[in-house]
Amino acid sequence: MKSSQTQLFAVTGNPIIHSKSPGMFTSCFQKHNVDAAYFRLAATSAQQAIFMCKHMKLSGMNVTAPFKEKMLKLVDVVHDEAKIIGSINTIVVKNGMLHGHNTDYFGVTQSFADMGISVKGKSCVIIGAGGAGKAAAYGLQKEGAHLTIVNRTIEKAQKLAKKLSCNFAPLSELKQILASHTIIISALHQNINPIKKEWITKSHIIFDANYTTSELVQWGKEKKCTVVSAEQWLVNQAMLAYSLFFGYMPHKKSLEDGLMMNTITKKRNTISTIGLMGAGKTSHGKILAEKLNYMFKDIDEAIIEKEQKSIVAIFNEHGEEYFRTLEMQELAQSFNSPKPHILSCGGGIVTHQKNRELLQKNSLVVWLFATPKTIIERTDISKRPLLQVKNPEKKLQELYETRKSMYAKTADIVFSTENEIKLKSAHQIIAELKHIGLCNE
């Protein structure tokens, strides 16, 4: 068995199912003919994300809220800009070492440059001293803007201003600050807007970090202000992250095109679980089916029922290829049902390209990951024909190395089932699904 040479990348955060990064990076891989896969890595903590990064053997990982600051203590090397900003949004794996970077500042400065706006010498107010605000302040300070940091908690604004040698002010003075500043950057959480519409004038340049809906941007457009797109922030920070991963800047339009590839919400009718044997696909699938009120189908069990033989017997009597043909037929039939389904797929279902295409086109694909060591400890290997060998853990590790690129290129999102206590990760999956309108409990 040959190990895959495909490089694996992911974006992690909590929640993460909404992330547009997979579309952007996948579009770049296609444009630059790079053998790589990029997926969403769901984690309950920064520590769990790092564990998965190491054990899944990722080449790099992007990081979003709420893990950016916590990553500072978890990587091996923290680069200068990340130290100053106080957070990490990009991790590059080099010779087994995790290097932490921050590319958010470039997302801000390049977005102004793209519009032909020089920030040098311009007065800029940054509202919010969290991760996005710190990155924006660092980038604009580097480019020579005159900054004032405004924050609800004045101590945070003061601390950031001291670090960057710039001004700060309390939120109560925002009206007066806006009257004397040209550039307004809002780095606040979505739906938080301390600005009043009448404080904005045509001469303002507006930049809101939220790339979904923004009241501030809407007002800016109404008043004929110059508005810098938050999606450009997303694209430009991804450009620098890509260059850290591969050593060259990507084709920018491919990133922009990739923003349109975020089709995860269109694949909600069927959810398929994939991953190594023993990763928990059936047990998790049953819980998901119950919570979502979906039908449940185990592909292996359906084959056993039709053949009236165990999987071991099918392998022994007819060989693996015969079983894979049955598997392909059963999967194709599963998508003919008009009813929403949870499909539990066998560990090797991804080895056929047609299966991978069927899964990607017709379902939201959930990859369940656990290390081979953990799987062997909790699995009855007598029921697993491929593990009837002298060293089953080594065999399972070989299977992972062979299949990991197939899982990665098929999956929309991955969850860890490494430390299963009452199937806790099943509830983590449900929590993510709520963010795309599934499971309203």
DSSP-based three-state secondary structure for 177: helix
CA distance 121 to 139: 14
Residue with tokens 């998965």, as numbered in its chain: 52
Tokens read off for 376: 């062997």
**Contact yes or no for 352/325 (Cβ under 8 A):** no
CA distance 120 to 151: 23
Q: How far apart are the two ends of the chain, measured CA to CA in Å? A: 44
CA distance 306 to 94: 49
Q: Which of 68, 267, 297, 409 is catalytic?
A: 68
Alpha-helical segments (H) within 363-391: 372-378
Alpha-helical segments (H) within 6-87: 21-31, 46-55, 80-85
390 part of the active site:
no
Tokens read off for 163: 């670090």
b or e along 41-61 (b: 16 or more beta carbons within 10 Å of the residue's beta carbon)?
bbbeebebbbbbbebbebbbb
Which pairing describes strands 60-63 and 90-94: parallel, antiparallel, or unpaired? Answer: antiparallel
- Catalytic residue positions, numbered: 68
